[in-house]
Amino acid sequence: MSDLSTPSAQRLRKPSWRDSRLLVGLLLVLASTAIGAYVMSRADDRVPMYAAKAGLLPGQPLTADDLVRVDVQLGGAATDYVSAGGGLPADQFVLREVRAGELVPVSAIGPRSQATSQPVALQVDATSASTLANGSVVDVYVNRPSAPVKGSIGTASFEGPELALEAVSVVALSKDDGVMGSSGDTRPVQVMVPKDKVQALVGDVDLGARITLVAVPGAVAPKAS
């Protein structure tokens, strides 16, 4: 019998940089790294914008103290809001309400000439004022004086009440500076009044009308900072 040939074992060769499989694997690693870096950069594609620190009310001047910078991802909608990248535009006023924490829309601010409301200080019945806070939404009722009560000296009667303004915002009030007058204890409260209503309201104040503020049911005051 002839001897069977014995196969010889082949020695494993060390991979070379010329090996196509090594090159393909290296390319896959590089590609996955590049894709991962791109995805991460897109995921953190945020821009600095301004948000309201507390509630912004129509007619009030806008200052840096009213705002806070936030970094958000808006994409193409970024142009609809006030950017914090270039600083706050000068001499801007709030044109419509912006609630605390909300981004400030470009359409919500503008020059004084575009403001539709003005702050008016009123001496208000102290009882109604005690339930209010900055940002409260109120209806304004006016009791206008009529002829003095017959047989009384220096005592006037009042007509009404009449609803003078609906859903206006309180921007400032003091609970410490009360004034005692013929109509009782009053407190100063500043409200935002539409421009076309300012003259009539000032006229009522000059006539000595009694003014009462009634909180609007369901209205939510902007959060204070």
Number of domains in the chain: 2
User: What are the pLDDT digits (tens) for 132-161?
Assistant: 888 788 999 999 888 654 555 556 688 889
Q: How far apart are CA 190 and CA 203, in angstroms?
A: 16
Contact 164, 197 (CB under 8 A): yes
Q: Judge whether 68 lies within some domain.
A: yes
Q: CB within 8 A of 114, min separation 6: which ones?
A: 93, 95
Q: Judge whether 35 lies within some domain.
A: no
59 and 130 in a single domain? The answer is no
Q: How much is the pLDDT for 139? A: 93
The DSSP result for 128-178, as a single string, is HHTT--TT-EEEEEEE-EEEEPTT-SS-EEE---EEEEEEEEEEEE-SS--
User: What are the pLDDT digits (tens) for 18-56?
Assistant: 566 666 777 777 777 877 666 565 555 788 999 999 888
125 and 75 in a single domain? The answer is no
Give the domain-ending residue among 71, 92, 113: 113
102 and 144 in a single domain? The answer is no
140 and 196 in a single domain? The answer is yes
Do β-strands 210-215 and 67-72 pair in parallel, antiparallel, or remain unpaired?
A: unpaired
178 and 194 in a single domain? The answer is yes
Q: 94-103, 112-121, 177-186 — which is least confidently predicted?
A: 177-186
Q: How confident is the model at residue 16 (pLDDT cuts 50, 70, 90)?
A: low
Identify any residues that bridge with 185 across adjacent strands, giving them in sequence order: 180
Share of the chain above pLDDT 90, in %: 24
Q: How far apart are CA 135 and CA 216, in angstroms?
A: 12
94 and 134 in a single domain? The answer is no
pTM above 0.85, yes or no: no
**Domain that includes residue 85, residue range:** 47-113
Q: What share of the chain is helix, strand, coil (3-state, %, to 5)?
A: 25, 35, 40
108 and 59 in a single domain? The answer is yes
Q: Judge whether 32 lies within some domain.
A: no
Q: 60-64, 122-126, 186-190, 215-219 — which is least confidently predicted?
A: 215-219
- Stated as kind and residue range, the H or E segment containing 123 is strand 117-125
Which of 83, 135, 117, 124 minimizes the C-alpha distance to 209?
A: 124
- Is the per-residue pLDDT at 102 higher than 50? yes
Residue found under tokens 């200080």 = 121
Share of the chain above pLDDT 70, in %: 73
167 and 78 in a single domain? The answer is no
Give the domain-ending residue among 113, 140, 158: 113
